[in-house]
Structure 1
Amino acid sequence: MRYPQRNPRPLSVRLLLAALGIAGVLCGPLVAQADTTLYVANVGGSNEQMYRQTIIPAFEKAHNVKIVYVAGNSSDTLAKLQAQKGHEQINVAVMDDGPMYQAMQMGLCSKIADAPVMNDLYPLAHLGPTAVGVGMVATGIGYNEEAFKKMGLPAPDSWTVLTDKRLKGKLGMPPITNTYGLHALVMLARLNGGGEKNIDPGFAAMTNQVAPDVLSWAPTPGEMDGLMQNGDVILAPYGSGRAVALQNTGFPLKFFYPKEGGVALQVAACVVAENAQPELSQQFIQYLLSPEVQAIQAKAIGLGPVNKTVKLAPEVAARVPYGPDQVAKLIAVDWTTINQHRAEWTERWNRSVER
């Protein structure tokens, strides 16, 4: 038995709807793929410009994805990851190694997937199962080469120069809240029989031998640069990238890695745990480790490559930690221990060192 149709649509309408349905089937996956978004958290400034101009576009094109850059310093990113836990929005987080170790300890990062590029990395880039270094600078010492010559002082080569009494009133020291200052404290501890797990020798040296000669505890690199340029300070712990920035102004800053070792300061990346795009997040981190991106970072912002296959032009290589010999001399500090005690050390520093 046939039932009559109620309000049948005209043939033209039915054909149009059918066509739209077919188009939806054909175009649906393409639209969904084009609408995929990857949220990447990293620092702003020149780093953000580099990502937007030269790193992000190629990945977006290759994977048909839209990348949203979430700018903020490492502490900001760590706070966002904590706040978003359970309803993650950020897919990939890029932070300094200190905060990254905290993120790892808090379970905010997923396991880094194995990939061929991982075999090309220096050992120190493997921070742990859930994070990987994607670039590095290093803490060493910077000094005014012309001022040293005028004073008849020999070129320094050791962390012990921080205790040289001939620098009294001309010494700069970042506070413990600045990574360069923290690295200096750890190295003084190591030089005097201690280390991260026994920081007392470092505090003893900093309090009794270094602090009396310090002119300024400049809290930011910019302030230290100003003191250097004014001639008030002639030597201070410096980061390799910051040293290059000051050298670019024409200032006669000489930067060196002490013979006991410079301290590696890595920029690290992790796939945020339980995020909506785990596979794409892994692919983005692998992309950051590619020789092409590693070379871009070195040239644009002075990040030394963690991929040992990268070839840099001599003028770029001279400005960053580069090559197996130099990287092998860098020291990776024990961030797990440091993060456990940092608040206590900061209080002790404020009480006994900067008085």
Structure 2
Amino acid sequence: MKLSRTLTALVAFGITSAAWSQSKTIYIGMNGGPMEKAYTSQVLPDFEKANNVKVVVVPGTSSDVLAKLLANRNSPQIHVAFLDDGVMARAVSMGICQKLDDTPVLKELYPFARLKDDMGAGVQLGMTGIGYNTKLFKEKGWAPPTSWMDFADPKYKGKVVFQSASSSTFGLHGFLAINRLLGGSEKNVEPGFSKWATTVGPNVVEYIPNSAKLSEMITTGEAGLFPLTPTAIGDLKDKGLPVAYVAPKEGAVLLLVDLCVVKNNPDPALAQKLAQFLLSAPAQTKAAEAGKQIPTNTQAKMTPEMDKNLGDLNALAKKVTVVDWDTINANRAQWDQRWNQQIEK
């Protein structure tokens, strides 16, 4: 019996009967690069196999993904979205997300990883702390940094690199942490802005818009001290750079990648199922193995290398500083303008 033209075409393009039998495709928005690679290689295949579906990643920054969701809010094509916590706060306030189903996995998460009213949850834990150039510190005979206020220590003059608070979450976190130690809060950033020129400012060799230039500046010895997360430090180490991470004694600043089920998505039941899977201990254990993703599920396991670099994650999590994103988002435009005119003038 001759194959039909349709089946012949499918075979010609390498589409097997197993692929043909998959009746559904589900879309997830997330950062491209290492995160996308980790999830597509080792995490999502388990869900696909168990549910006979195809999960397609729509890559982009958090702002890109949010823009897509807003543009198609009445008939969204994305079922589940990964967004940085500041952007997620905006998405929730705009009505983009629907409440997560109340399942046992939510109780396994660190309390701070559950968004208000369970409109989303943290899927990856980050902690903005201090990154430093171990080669430079050894050459100078400097002990590892311990405090956010080390950025203001005169001995680091010309060796501090600070990401712009107006364009980088790392820079914003560093500014807010120092602002707190100077007597401020998210509702009062005056101490940080007014005292910057006499504390951290004199030590800064360059303000950079994001962390892309850090590799070069670490290699040349220009960058000695900078705000960063353990995951970002791990990526730099993988490139062979001499760096280490320190959780400041006052506490690192919480930096979550959150997920939410998109409101009005084409298959809410399957989207909820995917969200619960991604929050589970098995999925987050695989994400840690594949891409050094720090879990938000307390029952998930990290790799021995991650355990060694981070130490006691539960102890670090208890000290983490949680910022007020509602206040930040309400005032961000004003802060950005002031930062650009006053700090990076």
* Residue 83 (str. 1) matches residue 71 (str. 2): yes
Match of 2:47 among 44, 59, 79: 59
Name the structure 2 match of 1:146. Answer: 135
1:92 paired with 2:92, answer: no
- The match for 1:111 among 91, 94, 99 is 99
Whether 1:351 aligns to 2:338 is: no
Cα separation, 2, equivalents of 1:50 and 1:327: 23
Aligned CA-pair RMSD = 2.0
Paired position in structure 1 for 2:171: 181
Pick one of 227, 231, 242 that aligns with 1:252.
Answer: 242
Matching residue's letter, 1:171 = V
How has the CA–CA distance of structure 1 residues 200 and 252 changed in structure 2, closer, same or farther, with 3 Å as cutoff? same
2:31 is matched with 43
Residue 296 of structure 1, CA deviation: 1.5
The offset of 1:132, in angstroms, is 0.4
After the TM superposition, which residues 1-355 of structure 1 pair with which residues of structure 2 at under 5 Å, given as runs?
34-129=22-117, 130-176=119-165, 177-319=167-309, 323-355=313-345
Percent of aligned positions with the same letter in both sequences?
A: 39
Q: How many residue pairs align between the two structures?
A: 326
CA displacement at 1:201 relative to structure 2: 1.0
| Corresponding letter in the other structure for 1:88 | P
> Taking structure 1 as the reference length, what is the TM-score of the superposition?
0.87
Counterpart Cα distance in 2 of 1:81 and 1:158 = 39
| Runs of 4+, deviation exceeding 6 Å | none
Deviations 1:6-57 (A, max 9, x none): xxxxxxxxxxxxxxxxxxxxxxxxx999422211111111222222222222
Structure 1 residue 128 displacement after superposition: 2.1
CA 1:109 to 1:303, structure 2 compared with 1: closer, same or farther past 3 Å?
same
Deviates more, 1:333-342 or 1:307-316: 307-316
Task: State the AA in 1 paired with 2:128.
Answer: T
Between the aligned partners of 1:47 and 1:321, the Cα distance in structure 2 is 23
Segment of structure 1 superposing worse, 132-141 or 203-212: 203-212
Give yes or no for contact 2:132–2:245 (8 Å, CA) kept in 1: yes
1:6 matched residue in structure 2? none
Q: Which runs of 5+ in 2 are unaligned?
A: 1-18
Residues 148 and 283 (structure 1), Cα distance of their counterparts in 2 relative to 1, 3 Å cut: same
* TM-score (ref. length: structure 2): 0.89
Paired amino acid for 1:122: Y
Query: Helix, strand or coil for the counterpart of 2:255?
Result: strand
Shift of 1:82: 0.6
Task: Name the amino acid aligned to 1:118.
Answer: L
Q: 1:32 to 1:86 in 2, by over 3 A?
A: farther
Deviation at 1:89, TM superposition (A): 1.3
